[in-house]
């Protein structure tokens, strides 16, 4: 997993002023700490062709011979575990990114109506108004620069 450790070091997101994480992967990285996920990423980084073959076999496992199933059983089982835990892994990655950005945990975000906590349609309309206001400001700024 040395390649993954190198990638984890490269993609650290420790907030400014925070102590450097001693854990691997860094809790602020774009990686999950799930062992199956880490092994999956390690294969992706180190053995890309092998990783592609294993996932191709996994996607077609109903048509595989018993010999191939036996040979790749550990890898296919890991693919299944990664697939089963995909939401959990994605949630951990998102939580790490939210922590880095200083945002509250998703479950703890409760918006009032004034903060845009209305219906989806109301929020979309609000965002559209904000976007249009920004476009108008850009147009005015451009006109001032030209005139």
pLDDT per position as a tens digit, 23-59: 656 655 666 778 888 888 888 888 999 999 999 999 9
State whether 6 and 48 are in the same domain: yes
State whether 124 and 89 are in the same domain: no
Query: What is the chain's mean pLDDT, rounded?
Result: 76
Domain count, the chain: 2
State whether 30 and 61 are in the same domain: yes
118's enclosing H/E stretch is none
Calculate mean pLDDT across residues 108-121.
54
Domain coverage including residue 103: 2-109
State whether 20 and 69 are in the same domain: yes
Residue 21 has pLDDT above 70, yes or no: no
Provide the H-helix boundaries in the chain: 2-10, 35-46, 48-59, 66-71, 73-84, 86-101, 120-146
pLDDT above 90: percentage of residues in the chain: 25
Residue 113 has pLDDT above 60, yes or no: no
* Cα–Cα distance, 29 to 69 (Å, whole number): 34
Residue 22 has pLDDT above 70, yes or no: no
State whether 63 and 17 are in the same domain: yes
The answer to whether 45 and 4 are in contact (CB under 8 A) is: yes
State whether 47 and 104 are in the same domain: yes
State whether 84 and 141 are in the same domain: no
* Cα–Cα distance, 43 to 52 (Å, whole number): 9
What does the block give as tokens for 26?
């860094």
């Amino acid at each position: 997993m040395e390649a993954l450790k190198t990638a984890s070091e490269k993609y650290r997101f420790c907030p400014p002023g925070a102590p450097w994480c001693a854990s691997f992967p860094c809790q602020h990285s774009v990686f999950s700490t799930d062992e199956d996920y880490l092994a999956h990423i390690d294969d992706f980084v180190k053995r890309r062709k092998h990783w592609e073959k294993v996932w191709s076999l996994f996607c077609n496992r109903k048509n595989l011979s018993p010999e191939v199933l036996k040979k790749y059983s550990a890898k296919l089982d890991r693919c299944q575990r990664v697939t089963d835990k995909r939401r959990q892994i994605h949630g951990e990655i998102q939580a790490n990114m939210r922590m880095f950005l200083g945002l509250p945990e998703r479950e703890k975000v409760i918006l009032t109506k004034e903060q845009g906590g209305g219906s989806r349609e109301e929020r979309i309309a609000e965002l559209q108004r904000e976007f249009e206001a920004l476009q108008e400001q850009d147009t005015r700024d451009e006109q001032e620069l030209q005139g």
